């Protein structure tokens, strides 16, 4: 991370996978110290994962593991009432963009920070404790989908879905930032 930060001034610009309405304070702080433009734009497509051989045999009859699925399509399906996530940035932003409440189970790295923001600041989910038991997962998922706290979280998730939709609309912040980025690249 320190190495990456040291290279910021050598870059022509910095592209961050977010949208302005989600992290205005972070983007403003970065813009105030950066000597080059900061663009909030979705330019990354992380659509594959490598699974160890035999993964499907190991879980046969209980689950199906796929190296990739169209997560946005799955999350936007009407039957999805909640999403158990490790709190990776893509999972959190895709769930918020789909208006899907989340059950957070972070492991390491940025996942703890993502969980903190999504749970405490954006109010789009609940956290599983560190001593995870099947009954607790079931109880929390029911609360998320049917309980009073879940109703509030679903409402907040719907608000973030609307903001994400507006950000990606023709004159939204993501579209405008992407247009600025392309114009800057062409003009150089």
The label of the residue with tokens 């610009």 reads 13
Taking the CB of residue 123, how many other CB atoms lie within 10 A of it? 18
The band of 3, judged by pLDDT with boundaries at 50, 70 and 90, is low
What is the pLDDT at residue 151? Answer: 96
Quote the mean pLDDT of the chain: 83
User: Is residue 97 scored above 60 in pLDDT?
Assistant: yes
Range name among 60-64, 159-163, 167-171 with the lowest pLDDT average: 60-64
Position 46 confidence tier, pLDDT thresholds 50, 70, 90: very low
Which band of pLDDT confidence, cut at 50, 70 and 90, is reported for residue 139? very high
Contacts of 111 (CB under 8 A, 6+ apart): 86, 87, 88
Per the CB < 8 A criterion, the answer to whether 14 and 168 are in contact is: no
Token digits of residue 152: 């509030």
- Both tokens of 133, joined, read 């038991």
Residue 133 predicted with pLDDT over 90: no
Q: How far is CA 30 from the centre of its chain?
A: 20
Q: For residue 9, what is the DSSP state?
A: G
Contact by Cβ (8 Å): 34, 7: no
**Residue 44, φ and ψ in degrees, nearest 5:** -105, 140
CATH no., domain 58-168: 3.40.50.2000
Q: Which of 53-62, 108-117, 143-152, 156-165 has the lowest mean pLDDT?
A: 53-62
Contacts of 88 (CB under 8 A, 6+ apart): 110, 111, 114
Q: How confident is the model at residue 114 (pLDDT cuts 50, 70, 90)?
A: very high
Strands 38-40 and 83-85: unpaired
Of 37-41, 82-86, 161-165, the least confident: 37-41
CATH 3.40.50.2000 maps onto the chain at 58-168
Measuring CA to CA, how many Å separate 170 from each of 40, 175, 176? 15, 6, 8
DSSP 8-class letter at 86: -
């Amino acid at each position: 991370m320190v190495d990456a930060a040291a290279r910021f001034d050598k870059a022509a610009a910095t592209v961050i996978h977010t949208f302005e309405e989600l992290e205005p304070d972070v983007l403003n702080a970065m813009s105030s110290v950066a000597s080059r433009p900061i663009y909030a734009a979705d330019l990354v497509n992380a659509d594959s994962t490598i699974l160890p051989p035999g993964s499907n045999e190991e879980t046969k009859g209980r689950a199906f593991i796929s190296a990739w699925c169209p997560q946005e399509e799955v999350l936007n399906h009407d039957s999805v009432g909640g999403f158990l996530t490790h709190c990776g940035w893509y999972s959190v932003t895709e769930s918020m963009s789909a208006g899907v409440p989340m059950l957070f189970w972070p492991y390491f790295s940025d996942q703890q920070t993502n969980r903190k923001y999504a749970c405490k600041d954006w109010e789009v989910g609940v956290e599983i404790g560190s001593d995870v038991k099947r009954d607790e997962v079931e109880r929390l998922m029911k609360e998320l989908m049917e309980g009073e706290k879940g109703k509030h979280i679903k409402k907040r998730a719907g608000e973030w879905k609307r903001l994400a939709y507006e950000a990606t609309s023709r004159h939204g912040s993501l579209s405008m930032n992407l247009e600025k980025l392309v114009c800057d690249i062409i003009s150089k």
